[in-house]
Amino acid sequence: MNTMLSVRMDQEMLSRVAVVAKNRGYLTTQEYMREVVRQDMDSYYRTELDKIIASARKVTPRHMTLAERNALALESPRRKLTAIEKELLKGQKTQKAKR
């Protein structure tokens, strides 16, 4: 049997999956496997998004709020750079004005 991830499973593994699927209330083994793969992909994408947000926080000025940092991280890479540059320039101007 090939799942969406092209993993080959032997008969013993298939019977175990069928038992687990039945115990968890799924109608078919395939439905259960789809749900497992979906959950794995969701966690993978959540992890990747967290990495992007963390990297954006490292290069953004500290005076930005958390919501602004997260919004900046979700923009496209080209726009993210220009937005970061704008924020850095804004920060430099305020520092010069304070001096």
Return per-residue pLDDT of the chain as tens, 99 residues. Answer: 444 444 566 778 788 888 888 888 888 888 888 888 888 888 888 888 888 777 776 665 566 677 776 776 666 555 555 666 667 767 666 666 666
Domain segments of the chain as ranges: 11-98
pTM of the predicted model over 0.75: no
Grouping H, G, I as helix, E, B as strand and the rest as coil, residue 2 is strand
Residue 21 near residue 28, CB atoms below 8 Å: yes
In sequence order, what are the beta bridge partners of 2?
8
pLDDT at 5: 47
> How many Cβ atoms from other residues are within 10 Å of residue 69's Cβ?
20
